[in-house]
């Protein structure tokens, strides 16, 4: 199942809900349809728990590898 929001690319204005870093993962909660944003670090931290409860898991963390100048963690 795809949703319209999945087409939107994350940008610098999107911030991790946990730490405020730039978000690279957007998830949509199956139960509420609510949207959560995570940086690469926190996406990994919550993935095992959260992913089964989501209807969409939009992962752009591969883009982190394109920006060698930006430190990850
Ligand atoms: Zn974070």
Per-residue pLDDT tens for 34-49? 999 999 999 999 999 9
d(CA 70, CA 67): 6
Q: What beta strand segments (E) does 1-73 contain?
A: 25-29, 35-38, 54-59
Ligand 1 centre and the CA of 60: distance in Å?
14
Question: In the structure, what pLDDT confidence band is assigned to residue 64 with cuts at 50, 70 and 90?
Answer: confident
Mean pLDDT, the chain, rounded, equals: 87
| Cα 3 to middle of ligand 1, angstroms | 24
Contact 65, 11 (CB under 8 A): no
Could you give the CA distance from residue 66 to residue 73 in angstroms, rounded to a whole number?
Answer: 15
Query: Ligand 1 mean position to 18 CA, how many Å?
Result: 5
**How sure is the predictor about 63, in pLDDT bands with cuts at 50, 70 and 90?**
confident
Handedness of CA 14, 17, 25, 2 (dihedral sign): negative
């Amino acid at each position: 199942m795809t949703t319209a929001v999945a087409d939107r690319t994350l940008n610098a204005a999107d911030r991790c809900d946990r730490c405020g870093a730039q978000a690279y993962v957007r998830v949509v909660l199956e139960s509420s349809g609510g949207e959560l944003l995570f940086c690469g670090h926190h996406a990994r931290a919550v993935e095992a728990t959260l992913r089964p409860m989501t209807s969409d898991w939009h992962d752009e963390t591969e883009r982190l590898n394109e920006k060698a100048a930006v430190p990850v963690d």
